[in-house]
Every structure is written in C-alpha cells, then in structure tokens.
Amino acid sequence: MTDTPLLFSPIKLAGVTFPSRVFVSPMCQYSSVDGFANDWHLVHLGSRAVGGAALITTEAAAVVPEGRISPQDLGIWKEEHVPALRRIVEFLHGQGTRAGVQLAHAGRKASMAAPWNGEKLVGPEDGGWTNVVAPSAIAFAPHYAQPQALDIEGIVRVIDAFRQATRRAMAAGFDVIEIHAAHGYLLNTFLSPLSNHRADEYGGSFEGRSRLLVHVVDAVREEWPLESPLFVRISATDWTEGGWNVADSVRLATVLKGRGVDLIDASSGGVVAGATIPVGPGYQTPFSARIRKEAGIATGAVGMITSPEQAEHILRTGQGDVVSLAREMLRDPYWPLHAAQKLGFAASWLKQYLRAAHRENPARAGLESK
C-alpha cells in the first residue's frame, strides 16, 4: 500500500491521542484471588503491549465483590486493588500503549464457575455468594442464580460503587474507562425489556430502562476528567423478538454522547440464553456502522475480526473508528506488528525483538549471530 493504512493512523478521543486504531478488547482471565491483579495479568496484558496495540483494556473489573462473574474475576472494589493495577498500567505505558479498565457488575450472571470448570453456579461453600442481583427476579437460565430484584437503595449503592471504582481507576493511572453495559450483565439487563420487568422509575419505558446506565455514566463522568476518554460497551441487539434492538442502541448512543461518552463499543447478545446469533466474520460491524452514522459518535467494531485486510476495510468503509480484537490477540499477541507488515506499514518492533522483524536478513538490524 502506498498510503498509510487507516488502521495505523492516529486517532484522538477526548484529550488522548492513540497511535493506531488497533485496540485489545477486555478478556476475562479467571485468574484472580479476591479480585487482585497478579503476575498473570501483567504478562497477559503486557505481552499485547509489546505486540504493538494502541489501547489495552483489562478484563471486567468488578465494582463490588458480588458483581464478579466468577470468584476468580478481577476487582476494583477496594483500595488494596490499586497498587497491582498501577504496576500493570506503568508497564503498558512504558511500551507506548494506553491503558484502559472495564468497570463491571455481572448482575444475574454472577457467582458462576470459571468456564473450564463447566457452566455451573458456585455456592458459598466454594467461594461463591447468594446476594446475586438483577433488575427483576428472573434467572438467566435454570442453572444460574435466582437473583434478587434490586430495590432503590441497592440501585443507589451500585451507582456509588461505579463512582468509587472510577476514583481507584484514576489512582491506578488508567487512561480510559469503559463501562460494561453488554452481554447480559447488570446494566445490560436493565436496558432490555426481556429482563427488566420493573414498574418503577428504572423500568417500563426506554427512558426508565436506560436510567441506571445514564446515572452510572453521570457518576463516572463527575469523577473522570473530560480530557480522559469514556467508553461504554453495549449489546446492540438481544437477537430476540421483543427485545432490545439496534434502533434502541442508536437512541441510547445519542443520549450517552450528550452525557460525555466518547465511544460506543458495539457488541451484541447475552441477555437471552439460547438466542440464535448469526456468528461470522464481522457479524457485528453493521451495528457499529449504524450507531456511528445515526448517533454521530465514535464507535468500536468488535467480533470475529481476524485479518489486517478485514480490519482496514471496516475502517475505510466507515463501519467503525477503531477495531477491537480479543480472540485473535490471544492467538497472536503481536498481531498489530504482523498486520502492519502485511499492509506495508513500517512496524515499530521493540529493539529486543528486531531479530523477529528481520528474520530474512538479520544484518539489516545489525544483529548477526556471533
């Protein structure tokens, strides 16, 4: 390619400039004890920074203990979590990578086993908990917890938990916060009429069902500087008749833009067990494209993005402003560097890894074997 690939052109969101549009999506690792980040997280996230990603966002960090998907989830609900997170942020910054944290509450999908132990509920005897909450007392599936419907006092506590987590994210030095309102977790279940059957101010109409997310965004924005980007991950559709749909997502994105949100991370699904989802390469990019066009907000395209050519096409055709990769980054932590080479762009390999960049002609790097 003669022109600079759009994939490797900088983008400015709020007051932060990212050197490229290759972002790493949050990926649960189920490797924490009591919510603490550890060496696994440092190596997992750090290796993707060495690989050249512009933004790396932690897995879902629970804002309260009962907001974890599993007992092994990352947490940010207490001050003691901050130093280990700061260590990771400092390493990412040292590689020229921006650091993000995803603030989350699992809602009715909480207290489940790590996936390699089977999809099953974890009881208190095995480190789980019983105070699982949701907008309405409706279980996600028979083998998930029977949740308690949050009362108003509980909703206020959730909002404050996101506020306090934001303060900890600032103390840890993160550049970006993403609020997790997708995949059937707490904020997503408030949005969907399939999981929110409330009759009070947090249910019923679109305004009622979106009220909790709006209040969380407001609480976060009150603490998070305007020059620091704020993302929200949403499920753009429930993939189910009578559920949340793309038109709702456009409307929500318009509201959130006016509350200081800088980017919508457009995923889908997760509210309905067994929903028919036509998974395939780029199957979610039409959602990010429509939200971007109709709400006038930056969007992140996610889902089954694997090749550099595909990622470049998504950006060139206006389907998103950035691309976020997860599984492909697990397969290849150096995907950004390999993608740059494939698209004819000068990849910025670290000096320690120049041997890999010049495998055909090591002398080009001045690294001949002795």
Place of tokens 């494939």: 342
pLDDT tens digits, one per residue of 256-285: 999 999 999 999 999 999 999 999 999 999
Q: What is the pTM of this model?
A: 0.95
pLDDT tens digits, one per residue of 15-40: 999 999 999 999 999 999 999 999 99
Given a cut of 50, whether residue 370 has pLDDT beyond it is no
- Among 52, 53, 6, 8, which residue's Cα sits nearest to residue 26? 53
Instruction: Report DSSP letters for 62-73, one per residue.
Output: ESSGGG-SSTT-
Given a cut of 90, whether residue 109 has pLDDT beyond it is yes
Enumerate the β-bridge partners of residue 301.
266, 323
Strand 11-13 to 16-18 pairing: antiparallel
pLDDT tens digits, one per residue of 117-157: 999 999 999 999 999 999 999 999 999 999 999 999 999 99
Residues marked active site are found at 185
Place of tokens 């995949």: 183
CA 361, distance to chain mean position in Å, is 39
Given a cut of 90, whether residue 359 has pLDDT beyond it is no
Gap between the Cα atoms of 227 and 262, Å rounded = 10
